[in-house]
């Protein structure tokens, strides 16, 4: 077991914490950058590693990368990545603002490898986090125990690992090799036999579910695929430019200052701008695939709209789903060999944050405009949360749209707190 001390520790080398790492490195605070560590539980950086299908695209413009909206001249931009890899001309010739997802993922790894002062430690899964208190009970920092037993201690902690996958209660306890969440799709699909006809069921009606539904046709070429959707049918993302202004970094201030009940209404009205819809070009591609099957055959696919899963159970090597038609109330059992849950992510605070709140004795997690958890003004060590503050900072908080500006907000807060501490000790 080793013990390491740093000033700032960021858990998760995803877009949020990599944007923060770049902002720290470019802040001019060289000592802070050299005293910052990012932990990544895997051996490399991958963006949405479970759904990196070769044809899948980002739904967000490449201009909303880790830095461009904060500093268009930064050497860490997506365009700099393309130039460094000698394919800027070809990308421009594609004529798109929406790169392939694997290319955005490669960009993130390039950023992590290009950092000069901030360090990234791989194969480092945070297992337990404990607040460290002084003799007066005031929090002075944090102690993070890794899966291998090593300990990293820090003054300021940033949790940016994203939300936990949402597995509806009806699927809990079923065999993991038969029921998997979309976030694990590419990790697990290789173990599913491809040489015999199977029946795969995808549950969900948004982008991730639709991508899995599409991918299964090539990954299991001899199988039938059914998609179970609660709504009347698959729908486009809301693409109004007026609504999309709610994803501007400048909108965060407006949303944060809005009364809580109004914020909840806004989030509900914006569901189809992110969570509940599909990218229009991809929706057209899906419909075309189903049309071709209907005309030319074979009809391998079906979409069961207005349908919900009311029970699920294992029966031998099969999973039996009880599907209820919401129009008639009729329930019928459907047997399948594989279930993929495109059911999104738990909208509660992540388990890691909830566990920390329990250890801190907090009944509720309140986050400042600068993404700092309220643990008392006297605390020396701060806790920041990234990517899980939609209720206070708007729907864009879970997306890459505000990464560049959010990271600057956190850096400004880190530096301001350090400056105030130096004045107090002078």
pLDDT (tens digit, 9 = 90+) per residue, 19-40? 999 999 999 999 999 999 999 9
Question: Are the C-beta atoms of 409 and 417 separated by less than 8 Å?
Answer: no
- Which stretches of 50-126 are DSSP H helices? 78-84, 88-94, 101-114
Question: Are the C-beta atoms of 44 and 190 separated by less than 8 Å?
Answer: no
CATH of 3-164+346-425, one of 3.20.20.80, 3.50.50.60, 3.30.450.20, 3.40.50.300: 3.50.50.60
Q: In the predicted model, what is the mean pLDDT of residues 321-339?
A: 97
Question: Are the C-beta atoms of 151 and 2 separated by less than 8 Å?
Answer: yes
pLDDT at 424: 63
Exposure class string for 49-66: b at 16+ Cβ within 10 A, else e: bbbbbeebbbbbbbebbb
pLDDT at 133: 94
| pLDDT tens figures, 140-178 | 999 999 999 999 999 999 999 889 999 999 999 999 999
pLDDT at 202: 98
Torsion of CA 131, 135, 138, 141, to 10 degrees: -40
As a whole number of angstroms, the distance between CA 117 and CA 123 comes to: 20
State the span(s) of the chain assigned CATH 3.50.50.60: 3-164+346-425, 169-236+275-341
| pLDDT tens figures, 83-119 | 999 999 999 999 999 999 999 999 999 999 999 999 9
As a whole number of angstroms, the distance between CA 317 and CA 225 comes to: 17
The more confident residue out of 244 and 275 is 244
Protein fold of 169-236+275-341: FAD/NAD(P)-binding domain (3.50.50)
Q: In the predicted model, what is the mean pLDDT of residues 66-71?
A: 97
As a whole number of angstroms, the distance between CA 341 and CA 180 comes to: 6
């Amino acid at each position: 077991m080793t013990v390491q001390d740093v000033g700032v520790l960021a858990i998760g080398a995803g877009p949020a914490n990599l944007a923060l790492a770049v902002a720290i490195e470019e802040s001019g605070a060289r000592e802070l950058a050299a005293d910052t560590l990012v932990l990544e539980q895997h051996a490399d950086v991958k963006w949405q590693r479970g759904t990196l299908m070769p044809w899948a695209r980002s739904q967000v413009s490449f201009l909303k990368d880790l830095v461009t909206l904060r500093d268009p001249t930064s050497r860490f931009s997506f365009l700099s990545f393309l130039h460094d890899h000698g394919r800027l001309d070809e990308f421009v010739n594609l004529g798109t603002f929406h790169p392939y997802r694997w290319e955005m993922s490669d960009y993130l790894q390039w950023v992590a490898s290009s950092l000069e002062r901030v360090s990234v430690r791989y194969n480092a899964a945070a297992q337990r986090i404990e607040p460290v208190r002084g003799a007066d009970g005031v929090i002075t920092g944090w102690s993070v125990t890794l899966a291998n037993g090593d300990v990293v201690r820090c003054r300021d902690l940033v949790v940016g690992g994203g939300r936990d996958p949402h597995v509806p209660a009806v699927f809990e306890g079923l065999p993991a090799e038969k029921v998997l969440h979309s976030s694990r799709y590419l990790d697990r699909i290789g173990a599913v036999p491809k040489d015999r006809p199977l029946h795969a069921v995808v549950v969900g009606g948004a982008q991730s579910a639709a991508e899995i539904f599409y991918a299964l046709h090539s990954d299991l070429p001899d199988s039938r695929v059914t998609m179970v959707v609660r709504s009347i049918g698959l729908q486009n993302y809301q693409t109004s430019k007026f609504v999309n202004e709610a994803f501007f970094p400048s909108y965060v201030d407006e949303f944060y200052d809005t009364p809580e009940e109004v914020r909840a209404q806004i989030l509900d009205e914006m569901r189809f701008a992110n969570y509940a819809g599909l990218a229009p070009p991809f929706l057209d591609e899906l419909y075309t695939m189903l049309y071709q099957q209907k005309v030319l055959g074979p009809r391998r696919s079906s979409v069961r709209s207005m349908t919900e899963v009311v029970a699920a159970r294992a029966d031998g090597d099969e999973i039996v789903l009880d599907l209820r038609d919401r129009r008639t109330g009729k329930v019928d059992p459907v047997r399948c060999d594989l279930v993929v849950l495109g059911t999104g992510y738990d909208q509660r605070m992540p388990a890691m944050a909830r566990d920390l709140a329990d250890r801190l004795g907090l009944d509720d997690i309140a986050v400042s405009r600068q993404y700092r958890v309220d643990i008392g003004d006297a605390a020396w060590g701060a806790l920041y949360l990234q990517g899980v503050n939609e209720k206070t900072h708007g729907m864009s908080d879970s997306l890459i749209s505000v990464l560049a500006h959010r990271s600057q907000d956190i850096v400004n807060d880190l530096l301001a707190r350090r400056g105030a501490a130096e004045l107090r000790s002078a």
